[in-house]
Structure 1
Amino acid sequence: MSVNMIGALLMMASMACFTLNDTMLKLTAGAIPLFQLLFVRSLITCGLIIATKDRLGRLHFDIAAKDWYIIAARAITEVLISYFFLTALFNMPLANLTAIMQVVPLAVTLASALILREAVGWRRMLAIAVGFIGVLMIVKPGADGFNLWSIYALVAVLGVTFRDLITRRLSPTVPSMTVTLVTAATVMGTAGLASLGTPWVAIAPVSWLLILGSAVSILGGYFFSIQVMRSGDVSYTAPFRYTGLIWALILGWFVFDEWPGMLTMIGATIVVATGIFTFYRERRLSLR
């Protein structure tokens, strides 16, 4: 296979792992308090990262002070993302939430133009505008489908957008696994402190298996996403990120007996199509 094809397969594997993680966490909803769940999952994730040290990627802490500030800001943002995303995940269909999250690449492109002053042509700006119309079709503002959990999902989108923007500021020499470990440890510590305000519950064996599966899945997602950056052109592999929506539709149907309505499906199609067009334009410009 070509390097680009390998990169595409790795991207699809990454999206499958992240969606499996969401599915397993959603299956535990209600059985374990949110902060206790986050603490235990993050603890296992940290253990897996340390156990696979130097196998999934380099891991060291000899990092410049400027990069440490960025890593800290990124980790704190991840705490907020985890809270808002998981709260939305436990209270709305998996495919609907995943469809909303597909707007992240468009939001990052828009924020890059507004904040980082990166050049974004009128075609991509038009695609972003159309993509956000697709998001409005998914969240249905003013209709019965729009509720607090839709707002939580949109806050998670803003958090992921900010996280991705500041990640671009990291020096190329900073190991990805170090950033992952610090992030997981920050989520673990924050969730552990927050969980002290609520009683802990005994975790059933089935829930333990789901949490362990979630930790393995999230690590697999991190590993494959790192490998993607080393395989093929980013402009070629990036559109395969949208296969996460396909995984969410399949798992939502088989596991939770959920299927989005027609308006949500149309909105998701618009978001995916405009996102792919944006990547296509970036590829054309890079070739020039």
Structure 2
Amino acid sequence: MKARAFAYARPQTLAEAHAAFAEADGDASYISGGQSLVPALAMRLQAPRQIIDLAGIAQMRGIGVEDGVLRLGALTRHVDALRHPLIATHAPLLAQAAPFVAHPAIRNRGTLGGSVSLADPASEFPAMMLAMGASMEISSPEGLRLVPADDYFQDLYQTALEPGDILVALHIPCAQPGHRCAFDELARRRGDYAMVGAGIMALMDGDMVADMRIACFSVAATPVRARNAEGALIGQRLEAESIAAAQRALDEDLDPPDDAQISPSMRRHLARVLLGRLLQRLEATP
């Protein structure tokens, strides 16, 4: 199939983008890297009257650090998460997750903002926003607002973005010397969507866990904070007993849907196995 005919606009500012959306009476779609939208257009799963290309908006570009926060413009490409030194230094969990995202051709074009806007529950980057305690900088005709990741992901492909809103940037608290992080996923083949995946940001005080954020993906309609597993670890040493307690607590955090490919009980089992591996990896990190 081919996409239906559509008008095309390439605004240079956020105000121009919002105006273009309003002129289309909401029958428009924003595009950045296009790795999700273009296939949807080709299959006519989406058929907007107008495509609004955000690639020319300077405010959505750039990678920088200010006041302990790493700001990633939404047009930052997946490949930058692999290579950019500021990301490697200040958001190492994002750098660990990047090699698992699809394939090089997609990473070279796909944008972080596009991934987080789509919020596919099987995608790596949305879950890492949860694990890192990121906030989303969102533009509407009324102005800019910041939405914490804990409030951003609401339901299947549903986020805090309202019709016409634009995700401008991702604000990630910079990793501190006491932070340890770990990422992994279980997939049938490298580049496939994961059967289950997780990322962890742990703040250590000596050999004690001072704080812990665990985010799982491919386990629900949205990325999931494993708050019960986190609670089992905070104030504890990372050792066999506390890791086993966190694995048991994880069952209270997850309620996977039934799936033709994998049962909920198997997904829970894989999540427990994966969590154990990641926590053992953190335990071994100096």
On whether the aligned pair clears a TM of 0.5, the verdict is no
More strand by share: 2
More helix by share: 1
Give the number of the structure with larger relative contact order, counting CA–CA contacts within 8 Å between residues 6 or more apart.
1
